[in-house]
């Protein structure tokens, strides 16, 4: 149990040491990355050619930002800032992509 508590305390310390802007940018970027990736899957499945083209252009433009940023080295980044916003963005993208498909076609 103390091992788990130590892990939580480490994450809390990393949160306090990080700036709000740094955390916000990570959450924003990871949410957007998950969102764009999930919409592409739906666009391909619905065979919306223009939506696929716009989606790929957006995805690969954004990929340059993701690939060239510093790697997450803290547990806060690895366990919270990356996976949670990415998953929420992917779910939102999955849900909203049907609306976007009708908008593009």
- What pTM was computed for the model? 0.86
Q: What is the pLDDT of residue 6?
A: 85
Residues 6+ apart with CB under 8 A from 82: 26, 30, 72
Q: What is the pLDDT of residue 2?
A: 74
Per-domain boundaries in the chain: 31-104
Let me know: does 81 contact 23? Beta carbons within 8 Å.
yes
In angstroms, the Cα distances linking 28 to 4, 42, 74, 82, 85 are: 28, 22, 18, 10, 8
Q: What is the pLDDT of residue 4?
A: 78
Question: What tens-digit pLDDT sequence spans the chain (105 residues)?
Answer: 577 778 889 989 999 999 999 999 999 999 999 999 999 999 999 998 888 999 999 999 999 888 888 888 899 999 999 999 999 999 999 999 988 888 766
Q: What is the pLDDT of residue 1?
A: 55
From CA 88, how far away is CA 29, in angstroms rounded? 12
Q: What is the pLDDT of residue 15?
A: 92
């Amino acid at each position: 149990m103390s091992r788990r508590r130590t892990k939580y305390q480490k994450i809390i310390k990393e949160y306090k040491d990080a700036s709000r802007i740094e955390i916000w940018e990570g959450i924003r970027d990871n949410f957007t990355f998950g969102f764009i990736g999930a919409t592409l899957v739906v666009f391909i499945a619905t065979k919306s050619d223009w939506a696929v083209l716009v989606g790929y252009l957006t995805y690969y433009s954004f990929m340059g930002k993701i690939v060239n940023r510093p790697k997450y080295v803290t547990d806060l980044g690895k366990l919270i800032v990356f996976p949670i916003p990415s998953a929420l963005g992917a779910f939102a993208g999955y849900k909203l992509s049907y609306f976007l498909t009708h908008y593009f076609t």
